[in-house]
Amino acid sequence: MITTTDLTKVYRSRGREVTALDGVDLHVREGEVYGVIGQSGAGKSSLIRCVNLLERPTSGTVTVAGEDLTALAGRGPRAGRELRRARSRIGMVFQHFNLLSSRTVQDNVELPLEILGKSGKERSRKALELLDLVGLADKAGAYPAQLSGGQKQRVGIARALAGDPKVLLSDEATSALDPETTRSILALLRDLNRQLGLTVLLITHEMDVVKSVCDSAALMENGRIVESGTVSELLATPGSELAAALFPLGGEASGDDRTVVDVTFQGESATQPVISQLARTYNIDISILGAAIDTVGGLQVGRMRIELPGRYEDNVVPIGFLREKGLQIDVLGHEAELVKESAK
Protein backbone atom coordinates (compact mmCIF):
# COMPACT_ATOMS: atom_id res chain seq x y z
CA MET A 1 0.00 0.00 0.00
CA ILE A 2 2.89 2.39 0.84
CA THR A 3 6.32 1.93 -0.70
CA THR A 4 9.33 4.24 -0.66
CA THR A 5 12.37 3.40 -2.75
CA ASP A 6 15.80 4.93 -2.10
CA LEU A 7 14.06 7.97 -0.62
CA THR A 8 16.35 10.90 0.14
CA LYS A 9 15.60 14.30 1.63
CA VAL A 10 18.30 16.94 1.92
CA TYR A 11 17.58 20.32 3.51
CA ARG A 12 19.73 23.22 2.34
CA SER A 13 20.09 26.45 4.28
CA ARG A 14 22.75 29.16 4.16
CA GLY A 15 25.17 27.00 2.28
CA ARG A 16 24.74 24.02 4.61
CA GLU A 17 23.20 20.65 3.82
CA VAL A 18 21.44 18.37 6.28
CA THR A 19 20.46 14.89 5.13
CA ALA A 20 17.22 13.98 6.89
CA LEU A 21 16.51 10.84 4.83
CA ASP A 22 19.32 8.75 3.41
CA GLY A 23 18.09 6.11 0.98
CA VAL A 24 15.00 4.92 2.85
CA ASP A 25 13.29 1.77 1.57
CA LEU A 26 9.95 1.15 3.29
CA HIS A 27 7.06 -1.18 2.48
CA VAL A 28 3.76 -1.01 4.36
CA ARG A 29 1.30 -3.73 3.42
CA GLU A 30 -2.38 -3.03 2.83
CA GLY A 31 -4.48 -3.14 5.98
CA GLU A 32 -1.69 -3.19 8.54
CA VAL A 33 -0.69 -0.80 11.30
CA TYR A 34 2.99 0.04 10.78
CA GLY A 35 5.08 1.92 13.31
CA VAL A 36 8.26 3.86 12.57
CA ILE A 37 10.18 4.51 15.77
CA GLY A 38 13.33 6.44 16.54
CA GLN A 39 14.79 9.24 18.60
CA SER A 40 14.38 12.93 17.78
CA GLY A 41 16.33 13.79 14.65
CA ALA A 42 16.19 10.25 13.27
CA GLY A 43 14.18 11.42 10.24
CA LYS A 44 10.75 10.06 11.18
CA SER A 45 8.74 13.24 10.59
CA SER A 46 10.57 13.96 7.33
CA LEU A 47 9.66 10.46 6.19
CA ILE A 48 5.95 10.80 6.89
CA ARG A 49 5.81 14.28 5.32
CA CYS A 50 7.49 12.91 2.21
CA VAL A 51 4.98 10.05 2.03
CA ASN A 52 2.16 12.52 1.33
CA LEU A 53 4.49 15.01 -0.38
CA LEU A 54 4.03 17.80 2.17
CA GLU A 55 7.80 17.73 1.69
CA ARG A 56 9.17 17.05 -1.79
CA PRO A 57 11.82 14.30 -1.68
CA THR A 58 15.24 15.21 -3.03
CA SER A 59 15.34 11.86 -4.81
CA GLY A 60 13.68 8.47 -4.76
CA THR A 61 10.06 7.47 -5.18
CA VAL A 62 6.91 7.31 -3.06
CA THR A 63 4.12 4.99 -4.16
CA VAL A 64 0.74 4.91 -2.38
CA ALA A 65 -2.01 2.51 -3.45
CA GLY A 66 -0.11 1.73 -6.63
CA GLU A 67 0.31 5.39 -7.66
CA ASP A 68 3.74 7.03 -7.88
CA LEU A 69 3.19 10.38 -6.15
CA THR A 70 6.68 11.65 -6.94
CA ALA A 71 5.94 11.29 -10.66
CA LEU A 72 3.05 13.74 -10.25
CA ALA A 73 5.03 16.42 -8.44
CA GLY A 74 5.98 19.54 -10.34
CA ARG A 75 4.78 18.52 -13.81
CA GLY A 76 2.25 21.14 -14.75
CA PRO A 77 -1.38 21.93 -13.81
CA ARG A 78 -2.80 18.57 -14.82
CA ALA A 79 -0.23 16.65 -12.77
CA GLY A 80 -0.88 19.06 -9.90
CA ARG A 81 -4.57 18.21 -9.96
CA GLU A 82 -3.75 14.52 -10.05
CA LEU A 83 -1.43 14.96 -7.05
CA ARG A 84 -4.15 16.77 -5.08
CA ARG A 85 -6.58 13.99 -5.95
CA ALA A 86 -4.09 11.34 -4.81
CA ARG A 87 -3.37 13.24 -1.60
CA SER A 88 -7.07 13.42 -0.78
CA ARG A 89 -6.93 9.62 -0.30
CA ILE A 90 -4.30 10.04 2.42
CA GLY A 91 -5.48 11.20 5.86
CA MET A 92 -3.06 12.94 8.25
CA VAL A 93 -3.24 13.22 12.05
CA PHE A 94 -0.90 15.70 13.74
CA GLN A 95 0.63 15.85 17.21
CA HIS A 96 -0.89 19.24 18.09
CA PHE A 97 -4.35 18.65 16.56
CA ASN A 98 -4.26 21.75 14.27
CA LEU A 99 -7.93 22.56 14.86
CA LEU A 100 -9.35 25.97 13.99
CA SER A 101 -10.41 27.59 17.27
CA SER A 102 -13.09 29.76 15.60
CA ARG A 103 -14.88 26.74 14.13
CA THR A 104 -17.09 24.23 15.91
CA VAL A 105 -16.10 20.60 16.08
CA GLN A 106 -18.45 19.79 13.20
CA ASP A 107 -17.11 22.68 11.12
CA ASN A 108 -13.54 21.49 11.68
CA VAL A 109 -14.44 18.04 10.39
CA GLU A 110 -16.26 19.58 7.41
CA LEU A 111 -13.26 21.68 6.34
CA PRO A 112 -11.66 19.08 3.99
CA LEU A 113 -15.08 18.47 2.45
CA GLU A 114 -15.47 22.21 1.77
CA ILE A 115 -12.13 22.17 -0.02
CA LEU A 116 -13.33 19.20 -2.07
CA GLY A 117 -16.42 21.21 -3.06
CA LYS A 118 -19.03 19.03 -1.35
CA SER A 119 -22.50 20.45 -0.71
CA GLY A 120 -23.50 21.70 2.74
CA LYS A 121 -25.94 18.84 3.25
CA GLU A 122 -23.35 16.25 2.26
CA ARG A 123 -20.69 17.87 4.48
CA SER A 124 -23.01 17.87 7.49
CA ARG A 125 -24.06 14.25 7.01
CA LYS A 126 -20.48 13.04 6.63
CA ALA A 127 -19.14 15.07 9.56
CA LEU A 128 -21.83 13.84 11.96
CA GLU A 129 -21.24 10.27 10.79
CA LEU A 130 -17.51 10.57 11.48
CA LEU A 131 -18.01 12.22 14.86
CA ASP A 132 -20.22 9.32 15.85
CA LEU A 133 -17.51 6.92 14.66
CA VAL A 134 -14.89 8.51 16.95
CA GLY A 135 -17.28 8.78 19.90
CA LEU A 136 -17.95 12.53 19.79
CA ALA A 137 -21.48 12.75 18.37
CA ASP A 138 -22.52 14.91 21.33
CA LYS A 139 -19.71 17.44 20.75
CA ALA A 140 -20.61 18.58 17.24
CA GLY A 141 -21.54 22.10 18.35
CA ALA A 142 -18.66 22.55 20.80
CA TYR A 143 -15.49 24.55 20.14
CA PRO A 144 -11.93 23.18 20.47
CA ALA A 145 -11.30 25.19 23.65
CA GLN A 146 -14.08 23.23 25.34
CA LEU A 147 -12.49 19.85 24.62
CA SER A 148 -9.86 17.75 26.37
CA GLY A 149 -6.65 16.80 24.57
CA GLY A 150 -7.98 13.34 23.76
CA GLN A 151 -11.22 14.76 22.40
CA LYS A 152 -9.28 17.21 20.22
CA GLN A 153 -7.26 14.35 18.80
CA ARG A 154 -10.47 12.42 18.06
CA VAL A 155 -11.72 15.44 16.12
CA GLY A 156 -8.40 15.47 14.26
CA ILE A 157 -8.87 11.80 13.38
CA ALA A 158 -12.46 12.40 12.22
CA ARG A 159 -11.25 15.27 10.02
CA ALA A 160 -8.50 13.07 8.56
CA LEU A 161 -11.15 10.51 7.59
CA ALA A 162 -13.41 13.01 5.83
CA GLY A 163 -12.05 12.22 2.36
CA ASP A 164 -12.51 8.45 2.79
CA PRO A 165 -8.77 7.80 2.73
CA LYS A 166 -7.19 4.45 2.11
CA VAL A 167 -4.18 5.44 4.20
CA LEU A 168 -3.97 7.23 7.55
CA LEU A 169 -0.70 8.86 8.59
CA SER A 170 -0.11 9.68 12.26
CA ASP A 171 2.78 11.97 13.20
CA GLU A 172 3.38 11.55 16.96
CA ALA A 173 -0.40 11.77 17.44
CA THR A 174 -0.28 10.58 21.06
CA SER A 175 2.92 12.18 22.35
CA ALA A 176 1.07 15.18 23.86
CA LEU A 177 -1.46 12.98 25.67
CA ASP A 178 -1.46 11.31 29.08
CA PRO A 179 -1.04 7.50 29.20
CA GLU A 180 -4.72 6.65 29.64
CA THR A 181 -5.79 8.94 26.80
CA THR A 182 -2.97 7.55 24.66
CA ARG A 183 -4.33 4.04 25.15
CA SER A 184 -7.83 5.14 24.12
CA ILE A 185 -6.56 6.88 20.96
CA LEU A 186 -4.47 3.86 19.99
CA ALA A 187 -7.48 1.59 20.54
CA LEU A 188 -9.51 3.90 18.30
CA LEU A 189 -6.87 3.76 15.55
CA ARG A 190 -6.83 -0.03 15.75
CA ASP A 191 -10.65 -0.15 15.58
CA LEU A 192 -10.65 2.14 12.53
CA ASN A 193 -7.97 -0.02 10.94
CA ARG A 194 -10.21 -3.06 11.32
CA GLN A 195 -13.59 -1.48 10.58
CA LEU A 196 -12.57 0.60 7.57
CA GLY A 197 -9.68 -1.49 6.27
CA LEU A 198 -7.37 1.49 6.76
CA THR A 199 -3.64 1.15 6.33
CA VAL A 200 -2.08 3.12 9.20
CA LEU A 201 1.48 4.47 9.29
CA LEU A 202 2.47 5.69 12.76
CA ILE A 203 5.46 7.83 13.60
CA THR A 204 6.42 7.61 17.26
CA HIS A 205 9.26 7.63 19.76
CA GLU A 206 7.29 5.55 22.27
CA MET A 207 7.91 1.81 22.39
CA ASP A 208 4.55 1.26 24.11
CA VAL A 209 2.82 2.52 20.96
CA VAL A 210 4.53 -0.15 18.86
CA LYS A 211 3.85 -2.80 21.49
CA SER A 212 0.16 -2.06 21.85
CA VAL A 213 -1.04 -1.43 18.29
CA CYS A 214 1.49 -2.20 15.52
CA ASP A 215 1.59 -5.24 13.25
CA SER A 216 4.98 -4.24 11.82
CA ALA A 217 7.67 -1.75 12.77
CA ALA A 218 10.88 -0.10 11.60
CA LEU A 219 13.68 1.48 13.59
CA MET A 220 15.18 4.69 12.19
CA GLU A 221 18.60 6.10 13.02
CA ASN A 222 20.34 9.02 11.31
CA GLY A 223 17.93 9.08 8.38
CA ARG A 224 18.13 5.35 7.68
CA ILE A 225 15.95 2.37 8.47
CA VAL A 226 18.27 0.01 10.31
CA GLU A 227 15.74 -2.70 11.14
CA SER A 228 12.23 -3.58 9.98
CA GLY A 229 9.71 -6.39 9.84
CA THR A 230 6.58 -7.71 11.48
CA VAL A 231 6.69 -7.48 15.27
CA SER A 232 6.70 -11.28 15.55
CA GLU A 233 9.61 -11.52 13.08
CA LEU A 234 11.57 -8.90 15.01
CA LEU A 235 11.01 -10.71 18.29
CA ALA A 236 12.36 -13.87 16.65
CA THR A 237 15.45 -12.14 15.22
CA PRO A 238 18.68 -12.70 17.19
CA GLY A 239 20.14 -9.39 18.36
CA SER A 240 17.12 -7.30 17.31
CA GLU A 241 17.40 -3.80 18.77
CA LEU A 242 13.65 -3.33 18.52
CA ALA A 243 12.92 -6.58 20.35
CA ALA A 244 15.31 -5.62 23.13
CA ALA A 245 13.71 -2.16 23.38
CA LEU A 246 10.18 -3.57 23.42
CA PHE A 247 11.09 -5.92 26.25
CA PRO A 248 14.16 -4.52 28.03
CA LEU A 249 15.95 -6.96 30.34
CA GLY A 250 18.64 -6.33 32.93
CA GLY A 251 21.16 -8.57 34.65
CA GLU A 252 24.70 -9.74 33.96
CA ALA A 253 26.60 -12.95 34.58
CA SER A 254 27.57 -13.45 38.21
CA GLY A 255 30.94 -14.90 37.16
CA ASP A 256 33.12 -15.93 34.24
CA ASP A 257 31.93 -19.53 34.60
CA ARG A 258 28.29 -18.67 33.89
CA THR A 259 26.24 -18.48 30.70
CA VAL A 260 23.57 -15.79 30.31
CA VAL A 261 20.75 -16.49 27.86
CA ASP A 262 17.82 -14.34 26.68
CA VAL A 263 14.77 -16.46 25.93
CA THR A 264 11.84 -15.10 23.87
CA PHE A 265 8.42 -16.77 24.22
CA GLN A 266 5.55 -16.21 21.80
CA GLY A 267 1.99 -17.50 21.66
CA GLU A 268 1.39 -20.82 23.41
CA SER A 269 5.02 -21.14 24.52
CA ALA A 270 4.56 -18.03 26.71
CA THR A 271 2.37 -20.04 29.10
CA GLN A 272 4.42 -23.26 29.14
CA PRO A 273 6.70 -24.12 32.13
CA VAL A 274 9.73 -24.48 29.88
CA ILE A 275 12.32 -23.18 32.35
CA SER A 276 11.21 -25.54 35.12
CA GLN A 277 11.23 -28.40 32.58
CA LEU A 278 14.81 -27.47 31.67
CA ALA A 279 15.88 -27.46 35.33
CA ARG A 280 14.29 -30.87 36.01
CA THR A 281 15.49 -32.51 32.79
CA TYR A 282 19.15 -31.59 33.25
CA ASN A 283 19.19 -31.22 37.03
CA ILE A 284 20.66 -27.72 36.88
CA ASP A 285 20.08 -24.61 38.97
CA ILE A 286 18.81 -21.71 36.88
CA SER A 287 18.85 -18.08 38.01
CA ILE A 288 16.27 -15.71 36.55
CA LEU A 289 17.93 -12.30 36.11
CA GLY A 290 15.00 -10.47 34.52
CA ALA A 291 11.66 -11.06 32.82
CA ALA A 292 8.91 -9.18 30.98
CA ILE A 293 5.62 -10.34 29.50
CA ASP A 294 2.93 -8.45 27.58
CA THR A 295 0.45 -8.74 24.74
CA VAL A 296 1.70 -7.55 21.35
CA GLY A 297 -0.71 -7.46 18.43
CA GLY A 298 -3.08 -9.79 20.28
CA LEU A 299 -0.27 -12.32 20.86
CA GLN A 300 1.17 -12.99 24.29
CA VAL A 301 4.93 -12.40 24.24
CA GLY A 302 7.52 -12.73 26.95
CA ARG A 303 11.28 -12.39 27.33
CA MET A 304 13.39 -13.80 30.14
CA ARG A 305 17.08 -13.50 30.95
CA ILE A 306 18.42 -16.56 32.70
CA GLU A 307 21.82 -17.65 34.00
CA LEU A 308 23.06 -21.22 33.59
CA PRO A 309 25.96 -22.72 35.56
CA GLY A 310 29.05 -23.31 33.43
CA ARG A 311 30.43 -21.78 30.26
CA TYR A 312 28.68 -21.79 26.90
CA GLU A 313 30.33 -25.02 25.76
CA ASP A 314 28.99 -26.72 28.90
CA ASN A 315 25.43 -25.64 28.06
CA VAL A 316 25.11 -26.55 24.39
CA VAL A 317 22.64 -29.37 25.16
CA PRO A 318 20.37 -27.36 27.53
CA ILE A 319 20.32 -24.47 25.07
CA GLY A 320 19.44 -26.94 22.31
CA PHE A 321 16.55 -28.14 24.50
CA LEU A 322 15.16 -24.60 24.62
CA ARG A 323 15.47 -24.24 20.85
CA GLU A 324 13.65 -27.54 20.32
CA LYS A 325 10.75 -26.01 22.26
CA GLY A 326 10.48 -23.38 19.52
CA LEU A 327 11.96 -20.55 21.58
CA GLN A 328 14.20 -17.76 20.32
CA ILE A 329 17.55 -17.97 22.11
CA ASP A 330 20.20 -15.25 22.35
CA VAL A 331 23.42 -16.12 24.23
CA LEU A 332 25.26 -13.21 25.85
CA GLY A 333 29.02 -13.02 26.30
CA HIS A 334 30.89 -12.18 29.48
CA GLU A 335 30.57 -8.46 28.78
CA ALA A 336 26.89 -8.70 27.71
CA GLU A 337 27.87 -8.51 24.04
CA LEU A 338 25.36 -10.42 21.99
CA VAL A 339 26.54 -13.64 20.40
CA LYS A 340 24.17 -14.06 17.48
CA GLU A 341 22.95 -17.61 17.49
CA SER A 342 20.77 -18.87 14.64
CA ALA A 343 18.21 -21.55 15.45
CA LYS A 344 19.21 -24.84 13.88
* CB neighbour class for 76 (10 Å; exposed up to 12, middle 13-18, buried from 19): exposed
pLDDT in tens, 52-107: 888 899 999 999 988 888 887 665 566 567 777 777 789 999 888 889 999 999 99
**96 and 172 Cβ atoms separated by less than 8 Å:** no
List the Cα angle 270/271/277 in 5-degree steps: 95
Among candidate residues 111, 201, 103, the one with its CA nearest the CA of residue 145: 103
At residue 177 the predicted structure's pLDDT band, cuts being 50, 70 and 90, is: confident
pLDDT at 45 over 60: yes
pLDDT at 116: 83
SS (H, E, C) the chain: CEEEEEEEEEEEECCEEEEEEEEEEEEECCCCEEEEECCCCCCHHHHHHHHCCCCCCCEEEEEECCEECCCCCCCHHHHHHHHHHHHCCEEEECCCCCCCCCCCHHHHHHHHHHHCCCCHHHHHHHHHHHHHHCCCHHHCCCCHHHCCHHHHHHHHHHHHCCCCCCEEEEECCCCCCCHHHHHHHHHHHHHHHHHHCCEEEEEECCHHHHHHHCCEEEEEECCEEEEEEEHHHHHCCCCCHHHHHHCCCCCCCCCCCEEEEEEEEEHHHHHCCHHHHHHHHHCCCCEEEEEEEEEECCEEEEEEEEEEECCHHHCHHHHHHHHHCCCEEEEECCCCCEECCCCC
Residue 143 CA to residue 58 CA, distance in Å, equals 40
pLDDT of residue 77: 61
Domains detected in the chain: 2-235 (3.40.50.300), 247-339 (3.30.70.260)
Alpha-carbon separation of residue 168 from 34, 116, 196, 198, 344 (angstroms): 11, 18, 11, 7, 40
209-264 pLDDT, tens per residue? 888 889 999 999 999 999 999 888 887 777 788 888 888 888 888 888 899 999 98
What residues does 167 pair with on adjacent strands?
A: 90, 199
The pair phi, psi for residue 65, each rounded to 5°, is: 55, 40
CA angle, residues 38, 201, 153, in degrees to nearest 5:
95
* 273 has pLDDT over 90: no
- Per-residue buried b or exposed e for 315-343, using 16+ beta carbons within 10 Å of the residue's own CB: beebbebbeeeebbbbbbeeeeeeeebee
pLDDT at 135: 94
**Cα–Cα distance, 136 to 236 (Å, whole number):** 40
**CA distance to 111, 134, 135, per residue, from 139 (Å):** 16, 11, 9
224 and 24 in contact (C-beta within 8 Å)? Answer: yes
Q: What is the pLDDT of residues 120-132, one digit of tens each?
A: 999 999 999 999 9
pLDDT score of 341 more than 60: no
Q: Tell whether the model's pLDDT for residue 340 goes beyond 70.
A: no
Ranges 4-8, 208-212, 259-263, 267-271, most confident: 4-8
Q: What is the pLDDT of residue 250?
A: 81
pLDDT for position 335:
38
Dump pLDDT digits (tens) for 288-324.
Answer: 998 888 777 667 788 889 999 999 999 999 999 999 9
Give the pLDDT of residue 76.
59
pLDDT of residue 316: 93
Residue range 25-46: mean pLDDT, rounded: 93
The per-residue pLDDT for 54 is 87
Structure confidence at residue 270 (pLDDT): 67
Mean pLDDT of the chain: 87
Which range has the top average pLDDT, 132-146, 170-184, 267-281, 302-316? Answer: 132-146
